[in-house]
Amino acid sequence: MTQQVALITGGAKGIGRGIALDLAARQWKVAICYRTSETDAQKTFQEIGNHGGQGLTIRCDVSDPAASKALVSQVENEWGRIDVLINGAGPYHRVNLFDETIDGWNEMFDGNLHPIFYLAQAVAPGMKARKAGHIINFSMANADQMEAQPDVTAHYIAKAGVLILTRTLAKLLAPYGITVNAVSPGFIDSGSAPPQELAAMTKRIPAGYIGAVDDTVAAVRFLLSEEARYVNGANIQISGAWGI
């Protein structure tokens, strides 16, 4: 049986790292893409091997369409295929809309939304030829609510756009046996936020606690399983009922 291949953007740490190690434990080949986190990427690469998988680390700025296309080509040239694309990369900053800069505004779309388009276009031909594949995009738990967001406006709009793009890709690729779904975390202890900040958010979460990386990994594992073969265009919220 051909060994499965996954490409994970933002795979050096946090949720992306958790997904990479989960796949490695099932002897997948896992390529992780990073932009600045080289030390974390090397640690994750070593852990992939320790978990029984085969790893590949690639520095790439996926906000660059040419670089995204080259990233896919590099993985396909190395391993012959990409069975799963996990779009986990995405910058975030908090600033009032009227204090936002043009560069800051564009960064949220260039980092969170546009790479999904670039990478999906690049991986689709191979997946269509094999009539199999999975794409999982990361949004955020309340992105489908279309709420006013004065301090994270561009980021929120980009994440709402991820859901529309996910559904569009699902409709276009379903005839080829490919599933495209979104995972939308709420407050997850992934190492990206200070513990005190997460603790302060607990009272806003109906479940009463902060989620773990493993909660998100479990959702991804399901979406990649045969049990989820008819799940396409869905958005799974991992939030303890926050943001709904």
Q: Catalytic amino acids? A: 156
Helix (H) or strand (E) holding 9: strand 5-9
Residue 18 to residue 20: CA distance in whole angstroms: 5
Report which of 20, 74, 26 is spatially closest to residue 47, judged by C-alpha positions: 20
- Compute the CA torsion angle 18, 21, 25, 30 (nearest 10 deg): 130
Residues 223, 136: contact at Cβ < 8 Å? yes
Residue 75 to residue 64: CA distance in whole angstroms: 17
Residue 52 to residue 153: CA distance in whole angstroms: 41
**What amino acid occupies position 185?**
P
Bridge partners for 138 per DSSP: 183
